[in-house]
């Protein structure tokens, strides 16, 4: 089905829904690289006007990637709930935007319809929204998950403590981990990107974190971000695996590039559940995504990069994740060129994930060859804090010395919690108070008060 919109004396024709979606997307370098972007701002406006008139039902009948060719499309269609969709089934994309922003649409309403939304519907409405609209609507939709603590409560912000090391040196990782904990970070998880996929090295890191966690009774969860097949092997060998990690994308072909399928993710999910390591809940999958991953694998099928990204959230939703992280600026300026594009993508990803019922966090980041700097990250951090993001990254100095990119620091987490009045996971805050790291309000105590724990932990870890 084709779509037409006239501006002045010029008629713009869009061959199909896939083309219309791509042309309506805000400008970004990835879509330009793929050759699917609007040729002018006027064409982009025409596409938005035409998209606003598309009934939501259309997305159930016109698949952007054919059902018979893609298991992600099959997942989206087969898991769609007509009952949940019924409440909004009469709306167009433009009407849906108005409904989302209405003062009468609350968290209960957004929760009711989540299973009736496809990623394409959610991506479409986001293309009609200003940044403030994305923030206002996402803020209405908390998504709460639990493992050893509770993440995503309204008025809370958690932090993934990321103590990476370029050689996986256990003492170096332990030093960064302890540094982050002294700043009150780590309630989302302690998550290490290993420099090596060697199973022995991965197991050594898992054991180190788990021994520390048990010794000091830290109510958090650990993760070593290796390929899911390595995690399954580690589980089979008895390693203390908490969260099961995998990078995912929005098409079957892109996921095949990661060496995964929905069946393999199901196997990993069941393996993690079999350990029964959660204490307050059983959400245990940790997924990472990023706009441009399908395009970089030549697996986008002409679909714009943001819509491909939102399809990845449908994959994540299937496995009841504890955390989903859009690593927004990591893939590089070929896909998100500058601070403005990174900011827009971060707000889109958070909004779209939350509407689908996914516990969204964001690695607010950029590579060193992007047209972005830390001021851009400050802006996005603040906007996402207002929008109700579940978690962000905590990295020493905001500079990851293993992955070589710029993100957010322990101090950045202190800033955004202070200016927006956000708390940590409640179980983690109780622990910080009991260990005299923070007071009952969540404010950090002085270094002299923290010194006994700091010295004890250093001795245990063998850190000079």
Using only C-alpha atoms, what is the Rg of the chain? 22
**Residue-wise pLDDT tens digits, 332-380:** 999 999 999 999 999 999 999 999 999 999 999 999 999 999 999 999 9
Close Cβ partners of 82 (under 8 Å, ≥ 6 residues apart): 116
Is the model's pLDDT at 217 over the cut of 70? yes
Confidence of residue 462 (pLDDT cuts 50, 70, 90): confident
**Residue-wise pLDDT tens digits, 173-184:** 999 999 999 999
Confidence of residue 451 (pLDDT cuts 50, 70, 90): low
pLDDT value of position 455: 72
- Concatenated DSSP letters of 153-213: -TTB-EEEE----TT--HHHHHHHHHHHHHTT--SSEEEE--S---HHHHHHHHHHHHHHH
Confidence of residue 54 (pLDDT cuts 50, 70, 90): very high
Q: Which residue has the higher pLDDT, 171 or 255?
A: 255
Nearest alpha carbon to residue 418 among 180, 157, 144:
157
Percent of the chain with pLDDT over 90: 94
Q: Alpha-carbon distance 350 to 383, whole Å?
A: 11
- Concatenated DSSP letters of 85-121: HGGGTT-BHHHHHHHHHSTT--HHHHHHHGGG--HHH
pLDDT value of position 152: 98
pLDDT value of position 41: 97
Is the model's pLDDT at 403 over the cut of 70? yes
Q: Alpha-carbon distance 441 to 433, whole Å?
A: 9
pLDDT value of position 453: 67
pLDDT value of position 464: 56
Q: Alpha-carbon distance 417 to 421, whole Å?
A: 5
Is the model's pLDDT at 463 over the cut of 70? no
Is the model's pLDDT at 414 over the cut of 80? yes
């Amino acid at each position: 089905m084709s779509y037409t919109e006239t501006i002045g004396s010029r008629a713009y024709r869009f061959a199909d829904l896939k083309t219309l979606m791509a042309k309506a997307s805000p400008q970004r370098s990835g879509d330009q690289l793929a050759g699917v972007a609007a040729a002018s701002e006027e064409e982009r406006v025409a596409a938005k006007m035409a998209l606003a008139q598309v009934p939501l039902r259309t997305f159930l009948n016109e698949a952007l990637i054919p059902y018979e060719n893609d298991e992600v499309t099959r997942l989206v269609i087969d898991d769609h709930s007509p009952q949940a969709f019924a409440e909004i089934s009469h709306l167009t994309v433009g009407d849906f935007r108005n409904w989302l922003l209405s003062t009468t649409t609350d968290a209960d309403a957004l929760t009711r319809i989540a299973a009736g939304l496809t990623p394409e519907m959610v991506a479409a409405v986001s293309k009609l929204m200003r940044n403030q609209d994305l923030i206002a609507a996402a803020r209405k939709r908390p998504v709460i998950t639990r493992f050893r603590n509770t993440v995503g409560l309204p008025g809370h912000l958690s932090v993934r403590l990321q103590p990476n090391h370029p050689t996986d040196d256990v003492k170096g990782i332990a030093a960064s981990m302890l540094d982050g904990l002294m700043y009150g970070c780590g309630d989302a998880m302690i998550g290490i990107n290993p420099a090596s996929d060697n199973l022995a090295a991965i197991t050594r890191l898992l054991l180190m974190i788990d021994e520390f966690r048990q010794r000091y009774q830290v109510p958090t969860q650990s993760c070593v971000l290796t390929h899911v097949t390595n995690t399954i092997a580690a589980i089979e060998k008895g390693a203390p695996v908490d969260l099961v990690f995998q990078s995912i994308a929005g098409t079957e072909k892109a996921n095949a590039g990661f060496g995964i399928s929905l069946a393999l993710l199901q196997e990993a999910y069941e393996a993690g559940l079999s350990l029964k390591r959660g204490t307050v809940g059983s959400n245990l999958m940790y997924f990472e995504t990023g706009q441009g991953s399908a395009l970089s694998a030549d697996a986008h099928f002409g679909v714009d990069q943001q819509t491909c990204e939102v399809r990845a959230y449908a994959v994540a939703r299937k496995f009841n994740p504890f955390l989903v992280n859009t690593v927004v600026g990591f893939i590089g300026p070929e896909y998100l060129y500058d601070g403005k594009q990174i900011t827009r993508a971060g707000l889109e990803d958070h909004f779209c994930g939350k509407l689908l019922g996914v516990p969204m966090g964001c690695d607010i980041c950029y590579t060193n060859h992007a047209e972005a700097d830390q001021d851009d990250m400050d802006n996005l951090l603040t906007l996402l804090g207002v929008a109700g993001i579940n978690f962000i990254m905590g990295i020493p100095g905001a500079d990851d010395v293993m992955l070589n990119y710029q993100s957010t620091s322990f101090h950045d987490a202190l800033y955004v919690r202070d200016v927006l009045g956000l708390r940590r996971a409640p179980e983690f805050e109780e622990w910080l108070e009991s260990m005299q790291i923070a007071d009952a309000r969540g404010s950090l105590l002085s270094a002299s008060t923290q010194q006994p724990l700091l010295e004890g932990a250093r001795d245990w870890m063998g850190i000079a």
